[in-house]
Amino acid sequence: MILVFGSLNIDLVAQVPVIPGAGRTVLAPSYQTHFGGKGANQAVAAARIAGPGQVRMAGCVGRDGFGDSAIENLKSNGVDTGLIVRADEPTGCAFITVDQAGENAITVASGANMAANAADLPAALFGTDVVLVLQMEVPFAQALQAAWRTTSASGTVIWNLAPVPDKMTREMVSDLLGITDYLLLNEHEAMDAAVAIGLAPSGYEAAATDLARTGDLTCIVTAGAQGALAVAADGTRLHAPAPRITPVDTTGAGDTFVGAFAAMVHEEVPLQTALQVGCEAAAQKCLVPGAQAGMPMRAKIPSLA
């Protein structure tokens, strides 16, 4: 089973000529409403690769229409929603601007996501077959507790260190590294994590090597058009190229990689295959607007055809 413990949001997306800087306002002709939240995104991406009934989502939504819609959307994508809790806070919401090149800027109002609690996960849930997927949009202490419970039951922990907290401490990163099997980040997040624990890497490849060695784990860095790099604790490296595409919207591409990768870890395929499937799924997503709308089904992945 793939268990995603994380955030659920509603995304409000506006297409803009340029992403505004501080003190600037830009006009958009309209906006679209999409389903999002890194946790929900990764659950949908995993379910579309792994198939119905293979993914369970745990987290919190509000007692509002956005919460109803978020749960129904996950159900329609084959995700088990029985572990989602209702909180007395509004459902999380993200405000996204996308420019003409497909790049994005995102502001997230966490809302009910801050009420996510690992204590709501029943003990019988955990076992050797569990692949737990975590991010950084619910309280860190709760995510860490879910990771400890998974490891104690000899399950597998995949931690996507995104988004990087404004005040990421050495202790936070050290705790995370000590409980994670696969650490997934982009090139900027890798550098931030390495610096947080007192390292001074020359680039993201060196950062990945340092993090993998320090945490005795496999560190995977996604680098957009440069593909994905995996570094094991002993320094062994694997690389998967990214398909050549012209992106329409990169929103959710990283989450798509994480979800597809988790599905492959659950299927116990070789790491090289898991990397390639993640890259292919992320590229497919970039061709369609919206975080979840473009997440591909298994049949669309060349490596799985």
Instruction: Give tens-digit pLDDT for 239-276.
Output: 999 999 998 888 889 999 999 999 999 999 999 999 99
Q: Mean per-residue pLDDT for 153-171?
A: 95
Query: For 188-203, what is the mean pLDDT?
Result: 93
Is pLDDT at 27 greater than 80 in this prediction? yes
Residue 255 assigned to a binding site = yes
Known active-site residue 255: yes
Contacting residues for 202 by C-beta, under 8 A, at least 6 apart: none
First-to-final CA distance of the chain:
23
CATH class entry, domain 2-7+38-91+111-292? alpha beta
The overall average pLDDT reported for the chain is: 95
| 254 annotated as a binding-site residue | yes
Cβ-count burial of 110 within 10 angstroms (0-12 exposed, 13-18 middle, 19+ buried)? buried
CB 58 within 8 A of CB 3: yes
Confidence of residue 103 (pLDDT cuts 50, 70, 90): confident
Tell me what pLDDT residue 104 has.
82
Q: What is the pLDDT of residue 158?
A: 98
Q: Is 186 annotated as a binding residue?
A: yes
pLDDT recorded at residue 186: 96
**Which one from 80, 181, 210, 255 is the annotated catalytic residue?**
255
Task: Tell me whether residue 285 is annotated as binding.
Answer: yes
Minimal CA–CA distance to 44: which of 278, 303, 296? 296
List of residues 6+ apart from 162 with CB closer than 8 A = 38, 135, 136, 184, 185, 186, 189, 254
Task: Give me the percent of the chain exceeding a pLDDT of 90.
Answer: 85
Look at residue 15 and give its three-state secondary structure.
Answer: strand
Peptide bond into 163 cis (omega under 30): yes
The full length of the chain comes to: 305
Does the pLDDT at position 290 exceed 80? no
Q: Looking only at Cα atoms, what is the longest distance across the chain?
A: 52
Helical segments of 87-139, H only: none
82 membership: H or E segment, kind and range:
strand 79-87
For residue 93, pLDDT over 90 is answered with yes
pLDDT score recorded for residue 289: 81
Strand-pair category, 228-231 with 218-222: antiparallel
Q: Is 51 annotated as a binding residue?
A: no
- Annotated binding residue 39: yes
Is 187 annotated in some ligand binding site? no
Q: pTM of the full predicted structure?
A: 0.92
The answer on whether 288 is annotated among ligand-binding residues is: yes
Rounded CA gap, 177 and 201, in Å? 17
Model confidence over 163-181: pLDDT tens digits? 999 889 999 999 999 999 9
What is the model's pLDDT at position 122? 96
pLDDT tens digits, residue range 41-81? 999 999 999 999 999 999 999 999 999 999 999 999 999 99
pLDDT given at position 249 = 84
User: What are the pLDDT digits (tens) for 208-249?
Assistant: 999 999 999 999 999 998 999 999 999 999 999 999 999 888
> pLDDT band for position 11 (50/70/90)?
confident
User: Two tokens at 99?
Assistant: 């420019």
What's the confidence (pLDDT) of residue 291? 81
Give me the percent of the chain exceeding a pLDDT of 70.
Answer: 100
For position 101, what pLDDT does the model report?
87
Buried b (16+ CB within 10 A) or exposed e, 12-32: bbebbeebeeeeeeeeeeeee
**Does 173 carry a binding-site annotation?**
no
- Strand 55-62's sheet: what is its strand order? 79-87, 55-62, 2-5, 131-134, 156-160, 182-186, 218-222, 228-231, 237-240
